[in-house]
Amino acid sequence: MELPELAILSQQMSKEIVGKRISKVEVTNPKCLNMPLEQFQKTVVGKTIKSAESRGKWLFIKLGSDYVLLFNPGMGADVIHFKPNDKLPEKYQTKFTLEDRTGFTIRACWFCYLHLMHADKLNEHKLTAKLGMTPMDKKFTVDYFKQLLDKKRGNIKTFLLDQKNIAGIGNVYIQDILFNAKLHPNRAISSLTSTEIENLHKSIKSVLNESIAMGGLAYEKDFFGNKGKYGSEQFKIAYKPGKPCPVCQTIIQKIKTGSTSSFICPKCQPLTK
Ligand SMILES: [Zn+2]
């Protein structure tokens, strides 16, 4: 789950659960919490959900006037809404029941974070305090992006994946983002021209917006259990090694870039210019 999936989830949660009071919370994987389970339950139960917003790969759920619940799906999670008498998902580790007997369950594939912070102490939450701006923010302009890249060292892919720089891009969407901008993942930031940065900025917005418009990734579920429609047909080069590049027909390659894999068209995304 990357920015589009979390953005969709937060929009749907805002409509369904905001304004409702939490009456019960069950957690069978307390390692996801940042406090003992009993303390978590005691603090959360009785609070009204005030808002649900996404920031990069995190959900910020405001509880009452003093607390914020921070959720990160880790390697992926199903966060699914339920109504009274609905059949619940077969497996889940966390269940929030609301005063009207609706609620939601969370099933994490591997690990997730469910951290409760006092609103005044949000800046002490190490994992989110330094999150960069999300590309969906109105302030994420070309000029802002140019300033962000100014005098930075290293390569562009590593920079874009670092959540402290920009919040929300992961190793799925980055592939086509770089392809559209005709940038090799290992291009040094210092070598980027002004036009290349402008194209990259445009590509970040267009890839993420297109996915949001299509309901997110085809293998991730939304709040109502529906899968998105952004899949293999929408991907240009991502996860298509051996297939022809949609622009120049050169065979797409899968290469190792640091600790991540990258898919590139060697002709459209040359390393040196
Ligand atoms: Zn090509």
Distance 98 CA to ligand 1 centre (A): 51
**Binned average pLDDT, 10 residues per bin, the chain of 273 residues:** 94 97 96 97 98 95 97 94 96 97 95 96 95 94 98 96 95 97 98 98 97 93 95 95 98 95 98 74
HEC letters along the chain: CCHHHHHHHHHHHHHHHCCCEEEEEEECCHHHECCCHHHHHHHHCCCEEEEEEEECCEEEEEECCCEEEEEECCCCEEEEEECCCCCCCCCCCEEEEECCCCEEEEEECCCCEEEEEEHHHHHHCHHHHCCCECCCCCCCCHHHHHHHHCCCCCEHHHHHHCCCCECCCCCCHHHHHHHHCCCCCCCEHHHCCHHHHHHHHHHHHHHHHHHHHCCCECCCECCCCCECCECCCCCCCCCCCCCECCCCCCECEEEEECCEEEEECCCCCCCCC
pLDDT of residue 124: 96
pLDDT of residue 38: 97
Distance 140 CA to ligand 1 centre (A): 29
Distance 245 CA to ligand 1 centre (A): 5
Distance 213 CA to ligand 1 centre (A): 26
pLDDT of residue 272: 76
pTM score of the predicted model = 0.90
User: Could you tell me which of 77, 84, 82 has the C-alpha nearest to residue 104?
Assistant: 82
What residues are paired with 7 via a beta bridge? none
Distance 180 CA to ligand 1 centre (A): 10
Distance 199 CA to ligand 1 centre (A): 16
pLDDT of residue 273: 55
Distance 77 CA to ligand 1 centre (A): 34
Distance 242 CA to ligand 1 centre (A): 12
Token pair of 150 as six digits = 């100014």
Distance 162 CA to ligand 1 centre (A): 26
Distance 252 CA to ligand 1 centre (A): 8
Distance 175 CA to ligand 1 centre (A): 13
CA distance 80 to 90: 12
pLDDT of residue 218: 92
